[in-house]
Structure 1
Amino acid sequence: MLWFSFQSLVCITSFFLQHAASAQHHRHDHLHVLRSGNGGIYNYTNGNNSLASALELGLGSGGCPASQSYDDGRSPFLVNGQNYRIFRSVKDFGAKGDGETDDTDAFNRAISDQSRMGGGKGRAGTTGQPALIYIPSGTYIISSTVQLWVGTQIIGDVLEPPVIKASSIMRNGTQLISAFDFALQSTTNFYIGIRNIVLDSTDVASNKTIFCLNWAVSQATNLLNVNFTMPRDSQHIGIEMDGGNSGGGSGLFMGDLAFSGGLIGLYYNNQQYALKNLRFDNVKTAIAVKHAFTVTMQDIYCTNVEICVDAGMNDVSGGSISLLDSVCDSCGVMVNASTSIMLENLETHNSGPIIRVNGQAKLIPDLWGKSYVLGNVDRGNGSMIPATNGSLIRPIQRDDSLVDENGRYFTKSQPQYANLPLYAFASVKDAGAAGDGVTDDTQAIQQALLANANCNKVTFFPYGVYVVTDTLYVPPGSRLVGQVLSVITASGLRFANEDDPQPMIQVGKPGEKGVAEFSDLLFSVADILPGLIVVEVSMAGEQQGDVSFHNVHYRIGGARDSLLQTSCQEVSKPCKAAFMVIHLKETSSIYIENSWLWTADHDLDDSYNQQIGTGRGLYSVSKGPTWLLGTGSEHHTLYAYQFENAKNVYAAMMQVESPYWQPSPRAPAPWVPDAVTWNDPDFSSCQQNVSQCYMQWALRILGDDTDGLHLYGMAFWVFFNGPNYGSCAGPNGSCQINIVELDDELESDNDVALYNLNTKSVVNMITDSDGTVLATQDKNSGSWGGVVVAYRDF
């Protein structure tokens, strides 16, 4: 165990317990954007939506031991990794942060020390060498690109975010920071994060093209609480997404970002994303879309910009954009469009038109409390209406439980607990947990959770792999925090019986209410466990978002921390690795932001074949409210998302890939569906004996008690048929017949709305439960194959 001085302890608990934009500090109020009481103009405040203020209650005294140490964590599956350092301060590598010294080399040494290299090559694999690069307060001069590798997390001081300042001698075309690990494809750049820093290019000549950040990354990445400061009327760009020939990536979420000055704030080039709480001030174009299949934007604030969202640049066509709950003040135009657009709850002040389509302004005076669509619209009865010139539609009724006091969808910033004293944190290693990937840590972690909830302490998991062999009960009052995605993994006979599946993580019990916050964690499966539900949530909060998961991801196989990596290789015989990933029970209410439910399609650390057949992705019977922002659910056998009699759901961007090995074997194999207990699909509607009909549903919405499901932005992709990346062999070269199923009992009063549904390589985009086809890809061409801008009763 590594011991630290008091000063280091204070630093470390401030750094690796970083959790998004909830910090409070008088010098950096501009990083935290909230809205004013009239539902309109935003203002700046040092508050936040995270409800973390509950933590400011006095800590328990009697029976609450002081924390003994803060371990830097270990990477247990790294060969000869006993002395490997996860936590690294740039100042330990020579950085000065004095605003004068060139600190470029020091930054790159901190990132690459101990043989860290592109693609996790050598002894590490992708997952073996995580690194938390801490940047204390100061101004750091950078003259050439700071290069990140997969598994790198950059975290600045949350109370005084450091300034990473481009040197005046920086060359034209330089990226200040590049998060694109060029040894990999952009679509496999996982586990990279940046938060709590300022990227400043104001010392570089305005006529140079400078990129503050290259963010060509994919799932399980984390970009939040970053300020981009550029000279006005310059050629500088805040974020680009340039992965070379591999494109801009396949991401899920970014949020709590601020941009000032420059030519473009966000130069978007990615398959799909959810963007939340982005502020632009005096930027020529706030968001310029170079390429997007679908992107959902909410809480976008543009002030003194020419174009807030340019979705029509470079003749971009085919993709889809949803823009919600956003404000333009002194803008030339709010949205420039030439593609599938859904606009809802927008407000402008002293601005030009809300939308311009193919160069023509649409005379829409106001969209506050209204909805507008451009593209293919379905009334929900199979009748398609082309809205190629745009159309106002009846707005949906948002339930009060889902929205804030101004009628916007509620959001919550990832808590960072910056206000808390050192004694408010307790490491699970103080309770005896080893995190070595071998020791059974169940009892130690359970004791820590119970004690820390009782004492209002944050439970900290230093990086490691924590093996649990029984259900961990997470009581009200819990706050769990990892370090560079600490791993908790299930093992043992408790999770072996598929007829009696059990959760590894049980969040509360039915009827319980309170706070349960999870952040910077990764849940895994150590062995073939057909009776495992990875996470089960029964609890709700007293307040909106009390139960929340931020930057929490799921990995089933594909890494050295799991026997699945080597046990599930036989072609056409996928192993039943886990029963279900997430189960949201009736009494639950949860806020999930930035979460990837991944059954491995490839090996991250070695080159073993991965034939893994997780049963189910996310299954919700919750009465709500439920918020899903920037989630992905990939490669599960029966379905990715299933809602049964669920109520009051808001989802911003849901991304799905079908299992690469399907339809060999055909679903439901290797599972036997249980329609009575779990309402599993049995694929009995596949009448024509076409193999591509027997594949994972991306989305099922079932039950005539369903009410208030509002889904914005769906990216449902199918790439292959059969093992070894077999080419698509369905009708007319398609990969899959059906992908979305709606209960045939659903009616208009069920209030189900699907906005910007995007599909690739499917025949039928939407069918009902009796097999009736409601929308086909060939009649709704666009995006990566098909796109329906709105499917609902009007």
Structure 2
Amino acid sequence: MAGLRLLTLLASVALLLCFFPSCSVSSASYGTVTSAYVHAQSDTEGPLHTTNHVKRYGSGAPYWMSQIPRQGKVVYGTNSSYPVWRNVKDYGAKGDGVTDDTDAINNATFAGGRCQYPCESQTTAPAIVYFPPGTYAISRPLVMLYYTQFIGDANSLPVILGLPNFYGIALLDSDPYLPYGLSWYANQNNMWRQVRNFVLDIRQIPKGTAHCLHWQVAQGTSLQNIVFEMTEGGDNNKQMGIFMDNGSALYLEDLIFNGGGVGFFSGNQQFTCRNLTFNNCQTAIYQNWNWLFAYKDIVINNAKIGIDMTQGGDVITTGSISLQDATMNNVEIGVLTTFSGNSTPASAGTLLLDNVNFVNTPVAVQLSPSNATILEGNQKIASWAQGRVYTAYESSYEENNLTCYGPAAKFDRVQQLVEPPPKSPSLLTPDGSFYTRSRPQYEGVPVENFISIKTYGCAGDGVTDDTACVQSFLNSIRTDQIAYIDYGAYVIRDTINFPIPIKVQGELWPYFMVDGSAPKFSDQNNPQVAFRVGQPGQVGDIELVEIMFQTLGAAPGAILMEWNLAQSSPGSAAMFDVHWRVGGTNGTKLQSYNCRKTPNVPTSPKAECYGAFLLLHLTRSSSMYMANNWGWVSDHEMDLADHDQINLYNGRGVLVESQGPVWMLGTSFEHSMLYNYQIASAKEIYISAIQSETAYMQNNPNAISPYPPLSNWNDPTFSDCFTVNCPKTWGLRIFNSTYIFAYGAGMYSFFNNYDSGCLATTNCQQKMVSVEQSQGIYLYAVNTVGSSNLVTVDQVDLVPAISNANGFADTVAIFEYP
């Protein structure tokens, strides 16, 4: 039976709803370090006190990305000559460290009539802006337009150098400001961005006038392998490495911050931030606001403050932070907080410390402004929490001479050491940290080892049936080669099997379009796999990098991806920056012209507006590592001028049945009908910061109207629902599972039939997380929006939103069912 796992609880209460009883007559990742330009280290040397930072560049050898023939074409646009790839030196940039390259680089970015203000979004004019080695001096921001990748040479990092006369918010600007608090792009819709392989240097700029990067973005974005060089020390040093003031994003990794007033000024709805090193920053991380941030593999060296979460004072603006597998070396104050008995809202400022080592750091957690020490430093903390905590257990009582059982919970608001969870060894490294690895960039692979799918003969034109060609191409790839998917749209009408082993690298998220007009993918009562990774029981290696899976029209019988493969070694079966996007864009036949929202009339699902049966299925035999993955059923039009909201009916998000290990870092599944995340009959799953949204049109129709539950798929039946706001998308459903570890979850229900008035009463949805027939469940920093209840166990609501208010969201620091 479950027991109370917190070390001390000042109060507890059992929550038991007796009308749902059970009665009986008896009872390694490789990251990056700074370049030789910065610290003159050898190619194999890493700086002191870093985690998973090994040099990945410095050879100066040609980088395959600069040499591979560019054959990618936009297929659903109107400009057949549009250049997807552009090298900044082809547009006049010198990279000599002296010439002002601002205009040349911005010209490279803007060429081709791309999406700039007042354009809201556009998928038909994407671009890779490539920077060869060199030092690019600039005097104004480099503006990253919608659907843009800035990529530097990974074998010799280019430097973006701010000149002394630099004027603007940052060297790189993802979302320029306009007057009256406006910006070019709505921050929550500023999608599809990437910045990799740079040194951003602002040391020549006066200390109070600019930052390295303004990163106000949403999902489908990432940062990797960037060094932020700022002036060290000094009074009134206002330089920042990253200035992030808003957005709704998922993932960044492998960053180094040197100097500055603040390394990372952090404000966004949710994020997983992995493998960050801070050297000589006055404040490493300033958490301006959030709903949830998961910081993983963080190293902070020589700082006054490690993490500052004092914004708002006693009315705290930080929602929740989990800090995992981190080290602070020679830091005056590890974490500065205003969380206290008097702070509001009750759950604001939630903080989890999990395997955090404070070395020569006398104060681990300090209360501001009193400077009282809450947690002593100079020790390794296995588990510590501040916030609301719940421990569920099975309660029993007597009724009519029967012993009845039902779930209950003990809870309290704490600021203390707590007992760590029993982490599954299969998920851990030898030192006890959760295993992680970086997205591969294949720096040392010669260009001749990349085999182009278009050179092989596949059309990728968005019309031709490429099924046989794609399968033949994948089968032709040798183990020393990498399958290169040129940008385009490859139509698939039958199952594609990835041969094992294989590595597949996409260019700018090329599309694999699953054609719903194919009979194989049309019957939701007989779903079929579109892309299969491994056969059941197979063990081997695969890497999928930067690919987009979509439907071409309604495909209600399509399982877009089935993953059967088990890894041969930790992280060897993996995918990075792989996404599933249903509708909302040119070519999908699921747009505003035929699937516009209908909130003012009773709505029956239109057959032409169905998505897929299931986006991703991790089967019982699978194990895998995934990072920065988004399964998005589009809620609005992205290409047509109206940008209106749309009704699309996708059955299910991700179904996890794996027996482990599975690592899911920085993932999001949104707007499916029955559930976004379901973990069923599974075990040994690690999650870092998941995010979901309930389908906006629900309850018109409700969750089961387009996709009646199927028992052989362990679908939720919503049989306990008695109110109209109950049969809605489960954000997370855990069924018959154990040893599930989730560090950060943000699950949001913003509408009831497109009406956001329900937010005022937190009644857009009745329930959000369901735990059924499961134990060994450890959920940290659980956040919901618009749901009356955060967590339900075996149909009993145990965690009400009204008791766990946290600004816009509602939060519990810990929910555990040991």
What is the TM-score normalised by the length of structure 2?
Answer: 0.86
Query: What is the alpha-carbon distance in structure 2 between the residues aligned to residue 425 and residue 557 of structure 1?
Result: 31
Distance 1:560 1:120, change over 3 A: farther
Deviations 1:210-246 (A, max 9, x none): 111110000001111111000112321111124xxxx
1:613 and 2:668 aligned: no
Quote the offset at 1:119 in angstroms. 5.5
Quote the offset at 1:727 in angstroms. 3.1
User: Contact 1:35–1:42 (CA<8 Å) still a contact in 2?
Assistant: no
Query: What is the alpha-carbon distance in structure 2 between the residues aligned to residue 373 and residue 502 of structure 1?
Result: 45
SS at match of 1:354: strand
1:343 and 2:372 aligned: no
User: Contact 1:334–1:353 (CA<8 Å) still a contact in 2?
Assistant: yes
Pairing partner for 2:755 from 703, 726, 743: 726
Pairing partner for 1:456 from 477, 480, 503: 480
What is the identity, as a one-letter code, of the residue corresponding to 2:55? N
Distance 1:232 1:321, change over 3 A: same
1:309 and 2:344 aligned: no
- 5 Å-filtered alignment, 1:657-676, equals 657-675=693-711
Pairing partner for 1:153 from 146, 149, 156: 149
Quote the offset at 1:314 in angstroms. 4.0
User: Contact 2:30–2:52 (CA<8 Å) still a contact in 1?
Assistant: no
Equivalent in the alignment of 1:573: 604
User: Contact 1:483–1:520 (CA<8 Å) still a contact in 2?
Assistant: yes
Equivalent in the alignment of 1:186: 187
Query: What is the alpha-carbon distance in structure 1 between the residues aligned to residue 86 and residue 651 of structure 2?
Result: 39
SS at match of 1:691: coil
Query: What is the alpha-carbon distance in structure 2 between the residues aligned to residue 34 and residue 309 of structure 1?
Result: 27
Query: What is the alpha-carbon distance in structure 1 between the residues aligned to residue 447 and residue 762 of structure 2?
Result: 60
Equivalent in the alignment of 2:436: 411
What is the identity, as a one-letter code, of the residue corresponding to 2:238? Q
What is the identity, as a one-letter code, of the residue corresponding to 2:254? D
Query: What is the alpha-carbon distance in structure 2 between the residues aligned to residue 449 and residue 592 of structure 1?
Result: 21
Pairing partner for 1:352 from 357, 362, 376: 362
Query: What is the alpha-carbon distance in structure 1 between the residues aligned to residue 117 and residue 719 of structure 2?
Result: 43
Equivalent in the alignment of 2:531: 505
SS at match of 1:118: coil
Quote the offset at 1:633 in angstroms. 0.8
Distance 1:733 1:158, change over 3 A: closer
Pairing partner for 2:460 from 430, 435, 445: 435
Instruction: In structure 1, list runs of 5 or more residues that go unmatched.
Output: 1-18, 49-67, 243-247
SS at match of 1:615: strand
Equivalent in the alignment of 1:174: 169
Q: Which moved more, 1:778-787 or 1:377-386?
A: 377-386
What is the identity, as a one-letter code, of the residue corresponding to 1:189? N
What is the identity, as a one-letter code, of the residue corresponding to 2:74? S
SS at match of 1:479: strand
1:327 and 2:361 aligned: no
1:368 and 2:401 aligned: no
Query: What is the alpha-carbon distance in structure 2 between the residues aligned to residue 31 and residue 398 of structure 1?
Result: 36
Quote the offset at 1:46 in angstroms. 2.4
Equivalent in the alignment of 2:563: 537
Query: What is the alpha-carbon distance in structure 1 between the residues aligned to residue 780 and residue 542 of structure 2?
Result: 31
What is the identity, as a one-letter code, of the residue corresponding to 1:590? M
User: Contact 2:366–2:375 (CA<8 Å) still a contact in 1?
Assistant: no
Equivalent in the alignment of 2:14: none
What is the identity, as a one-letter code, of the residue corresponding to 2:765? Q
SS at match of 2:266: strand
What is the identity, as a one-letter code, of the residue corresponding to 1:718? S
User: Contact 1:163–1:198 (CA<8 Å) still a contact in 2?
Assistant: yes
Query: What is the alpha-carbon distance in structure 2 between the residues aligned to residue 70 and residue 21 of structure 1?
Result: 28
Query: What is the alpha-carbon distance in structure 2 between the residues aligned to residue 484 and residue 783 of structure 1?
Result: 37
Query: What is the alpha-carbon distance in structure 1 between the residues aligned to residue 473 and residue 35 of structure 2?
Result: 31
SS at match of 2:72: coil
User: Contact 2:690–2:745 (CA<8 Å) still a contact in 1?
Assistant: yes
Instruction: In structure 2, list runs of 5 or more residues that go unmatched.
Output: 1-28, 58-66, 177-182, 340-348, 394-407
Equivalent in the alignment of 2:576: 550
Quote the offset at 1:708 in angstroms. 1.2
User: Contact 1:414–1:550 (CA<8 Å) still a contact in 2?
Assistant: yes
Equivalent in the alignment of 1:239: 242
RMSD of aligned C-alpha atoms?
2.4
1:685 and 2:716 aligned: no
What is the identity, as a one-letter code, of the residue corresponding to 2:494? D
What is the identity, as a one-letter code, of the residue corresponding to 1:580? L
SS at match of 1:716: strand
User: Contact 1:23–1:417 (CA<8 Å) still a contact in 2?
Assistant: no
What is the identity, as a one-letter code, of the residue corresponding to 1:586? R
Query: What is the alpha-carbon distance in structure 2 between the residues aligned to residue 549 and residue 167 of structure 1?
Result: 39
SS at match of 1:355: strand
- 5 Å-filtered alignment, 1:24-423, equals 42=51, 45-46=54-55, 70-79=69-78, 81-118=79-116, 121=119, 126-171=122-167, 174-180=169-175, 182-206=183-207, 208-233=208-233, 234-242=237-245, 248-315=246-313, 316-317=316-317, 319-337=319-337, 338=339, 339-358=349-368, 359-365=371-377, 368=380, 370-381=382-393, 382-388=408-414, 390-423=415-448
Deviations 1:516-567 (A, max 9, x none): 1111111111110110111110001111111111111111000002011244
User: Contact 1:69–1:430 (CA<8 Å) still a contact in 2?
Assistant: no
Deviations 1:432-485 (A, max 9, x none): 111111111111111111111x34311111111111111110121111111111
User: Contact 2:361–2:378 (CA<8 Å) still a contact in 1?
Assistant: no
Quote the offset at 1:264 in angstroms. 0.5
1:758 and 2:783 aligned: yes
Query: What is the alpha-carbon distance in structure 2 between the residues aligned to residue 631 and residue 33 of structure 1?
Result: 32
Query: What is the alpha-carbon distance in structure 2 between the residues aligned to residue 683 and residue 375 of structure 1?
Result: 31
Deviations 1:595-614 (A, max 9, x none): 11100100010135521010
Distance 1:221 1:766, change over 3 A: same
Quote the offset at 1:21 in angstroms. 4.8
Deviations 1:724-768 (A, max 9, x none): x2234599451110111011x33xxx3210001011111111112
Equivalent in the alignment of 2:507: 483
Q: Which moved more, 1:707-716 or 1:111-120?
A: 111-120
User: Contact 1:758–1:783 (CA<8 Å) still a contact in 2?
Assistant: no
SS at match of 2:103: helix
What is the identity, as a one-letter code, of the residue corresponding to 2:534? G
Distance 1:719 1:20, change over 3 A: farther
Deviations 1:220-278 (A, max 9, x none): 01111111000112321111124xxxxx1001011110000100011011111110001
Query: What is the alpha-carbon distance in structure 2 between the residues aligned to residue 774 and residue 34 of structure 1?
Result: 51
Distance 1:69 1:448, change over 3 A: farther
Query: What is the alpha-carbon distance in structure 1 between the residues aligned to residue 710 and residue 52 of structure 2?
Result: 52
Quote the offset at 1:715 in angstroms. 0.5
Count of residues paired in the alignment: 731
User: Contact 2:71–2:454 (CA<8 Å) still a contact in 1?
Assistant: no
User: Contact 1:120–1:149 (CA<8 Å) still a contact in 2?
Assistant: no
Equivalent in the alignment of 1:648: 684
- 5 Å-filtered alignment, 1:559-570, equals 559-565=585-591, 566-569=593-596
SS at match of 1:485: coil
